[in-house]
Copies of this chain bind each other. A is one copy, B any other.
Amino acid sequence: MKLIIVGGVAGGASAATRARRLSEAAEIVLFERGPDVSFANCGLPYYIGGVIEERDRLLVASPESLRTTFRIDVRLQSNVEAIDRVKKTVLVRDLVTNRSYEESYDKLILAPGAAPLRPPLPGIDLPGIHTLRHMQDMDRIRAAVDQGVKQAIVIGAGFIGLELVENLVHRGVKVALVELQDQILPPLDKEMTTPLMDALKQHGVAVHLGQSAESFTSSGQGIQVQLKSGQTLAAPLVILGVGVRPENQLAAAAGLEVGPRGGIRVNAQLQTSDPDIYAVGDAIESRDFITGDPAQLALAGPANRQGRLAAEHALLGRPVAFRGFQGTSIVGCFQITAAMTGASEKSLRRASRPFHAIYVHPSHHAGYYPGAEAMTIKLLFEPKTGKIWGAQIVGRHGVDKRIDVLAIAIQAGMTVFDLEQAELAYAPQYGSAKDPINMAGFVAAGLLRGDHPQITAADLLALPEGQRPLVLDVRTADEFAEDHLPGAKHIPVDGLRSHLGELPKDRSIVTYCRVGQRGYLAARVLLQHGFQVRNLSGGIKAYRMVVPN
């Protein structure tokens, strides 16, 4: 058995080492176009920021270790230019000698990755405009910063864009951030990005939403970027982080099926339309675990697991199955963590799935223990069964823990009722007797049981004028004085029972408090006295994420 692997980073390197573990007899050849194998893409921004101090730490495995320990025939700076599916050969160009040669395969695994998008705009190739994919891209950007660049423009406010912004600011660079969407972190729902927007502003980052670059010109200050709005920005350093496109040319030229967004089509066994050719990693089109729809997602975790599975199927024909993309992702920026798993509200709307959304703001550990910090959890679930569709969390601490718990719950097909009963680890420095996960479960299950009718801020705001409910603030007088919803009536929850006569029975009421708990109690009181009432999910805190002050 001769296995050829094209691409030596996450998925390719995983496939190669897994293949060797499974078979001592296999001949394994790994072609990598660049000079490095298995480097830590996700660490690149942190070397630019100086957080990771030693460049070598990013080289997770060396070609030597793959050769010596795993007996893998690693060929660097070797570009696979064509596949002959009939002869079962690949045409390889050695980029050092420029010599071409053929190599035969029994099974072929493609792990070419995805390339940063570089839109064909005027001036896009000017020196000073970078993308970030390889160690060499990183070196160029780091060199610019080391040379004392004081201003930069980052185009694209996705995960990598935000990590770049944080690391540049950390190096004392003043950053302007340009994003095409009307929000940062487009995979998340917009309101969940509000705390990160605040953090960006606090750190002096100029954020330009709903803007795109139209052209680039050379100027005295380096690069001048012309925005769609007509505004111009200028800085010696410009970094594009506007997404990636699957490296599908080799596959497409060989006649392998490619999806409409460019991903190489694979089945659950990671086989392309040619069963002897597999594809893994950022280059493929797989399925969305929640919706079942075709999906492309550039994530290191799935890439590694796909590499393992493809090797197992290619070598041994075992009945493996990749279960699709769940979309679990996380980013840290200026002490704020934002994370998601499963479907977002916007992806559910796009897929026309029925859903409920609730918001809670629990502390990351017991409130009586010093240092407790609130996080905001948005939980999305199926109205009939309570099955969890997705979750988003933003906060300072404990976000990664809760998103992983919810990621597993989604993988298991759990419902919000299961979250109510979750028995999680509690000591005061780690969690609460009622963990944030339980709290989200209580609130979501209460909605489904009819105990806790709720409305989201977005749904409240979307109601036509004539259907606007009476909005009832049940907090203290001081809290009301500080900020309240437009037109809100004020009756503190403690006195509510003796003021029922002031409320209408023929008009629906929305109660709210700071985070939702007192509003819930008020709604319970009113419900049982025959009022039509819903609680504003997540209280004024969630409202202010939709409509910032």
Contact with B along A290-333 (1 / 0, CB 8 A): 00000000011111110010000000000000110111111110
A36 within 8 A of partner (CB): no
Find A401's partner among B332, B341, B404, B494 (CB 8 Å cutoff): B404
Chain B hits for A435, CB < 8 A:
301, 404
Contact with B along A478-504 (1 / 0, CB 8 A): 000000000000000110010000000
Which A42-74 residues have C-beta < 8 A from chain B? 42-43, 46, 51-53, 57-58, 60, 68-71
A477 within 8 A of partner (CB): no
A524 within 8 A of partner (CB): yes
- Which of A201-209, A223-231, A352-360, A417-425 forms contacts with chain B? A417-425
CB-based contact B430/A332 at 8 Å: yes
CA distance A400 to B301 in the complex (A): 21
Contact with B along A24-35 (1 / 0, CB 8 A): 110000000000
CB-based contact B524/A24 at 8 Å: yes
Please give the distance in Å from A1's CB to the nearest CB on chain B: 13
Find A52's partner among B299, B368, B404, B405 (CB 8 Å cutoff): B368
CA distance A163 to B68 in the complex (A): 48
- Which of A126-134, A378-386, A407-415, A464-472 forms contacts with chain B? A407-415
CB-based contact A412/B403 at 8 Å: no
Please give the distance in Å from A181's CB to the nearest CB on chain B: 21
CA distance A308 to B434 in the complex (A): 11
Chain B hits for A60, CB < 8 A:
368
CB-based contact B423/A46 at 8 Å: no
A529 within 8 A of partner (CB): yes
Chain B hits for A412, CB < 8 A:
408-409, 412-414, 418
A461 within 8 A of partner (CB): no
Known: A301-B423, A304-B434. A46 touches B428 (CB 8 A): yes
Chain B hits for A178, CB < 8 A:
none
CB-CB nearest in chain B for A342: B423
Chain B hits for A438, CB < 8 A:
301, 305
CA distance A280 to B525 in the complex (A): 26
Contact with B along A508-549 (1 / 0, CB 8 A): 000000000010110011001100000000000000000000
Copies in the complex: 2
CB-based contact B24/A525 at 8 Å: yes
CB-based contact A21/B521 at 8 Å: yes
A429 within 8 A of partner (CB): yes
Chain B hits for A493, CB < 8 A:
69
A119 within 8 A of partner (CB): no
Given A23-B528, A301-B438, A322-B421, 16 further pairs, Cβ under 8 A: A21-B451, A21-B521, A43-B366, A43-B368, A51-B370, A53-B370, A69-B494, A69-B521, A300-B433, A301-B424, A301-B434, A302-B423, A327-B423, A328-B424, A405-B405, A408-B409
23 residue pairs A–B, Cβ–Cβ below 8 Å? A20-B524, A21-B521, A24-B528, A57-B367, A58-B368, A68-B494, A300-B426, A301-B438, A304-B434, A328-B423, A330-B425, A330-B430, A331-B427, A332-B430, A341-B425, A400-B431, A403-B425, A404-B405, A404-B431, A408-B414, A408-B422, A411-B421, A411-B422
List A residues at the B interface (Cβ < 8 Å). Answer: 10, 20-25, 40, 42-43, 46, 51-53, 57-58, 60, 68-71, 159, 163, 289, 299-305, 308, 322-323, 325-332, 337, 339, 341, 366-370, 400-401, 403-405, 407-409, 411-414, 418, 420-431, 433-435, 437-438, 442, 451, 493-494, 497, 518, 520-521, 524-525, 528-529
Q: Which 7 pairs of residues, A with B, have the shortest CB-CB distance?
A: A412-B412, A330-B425, A300-B433, A401-B401, A24-B528, A400-B430, A57-B368
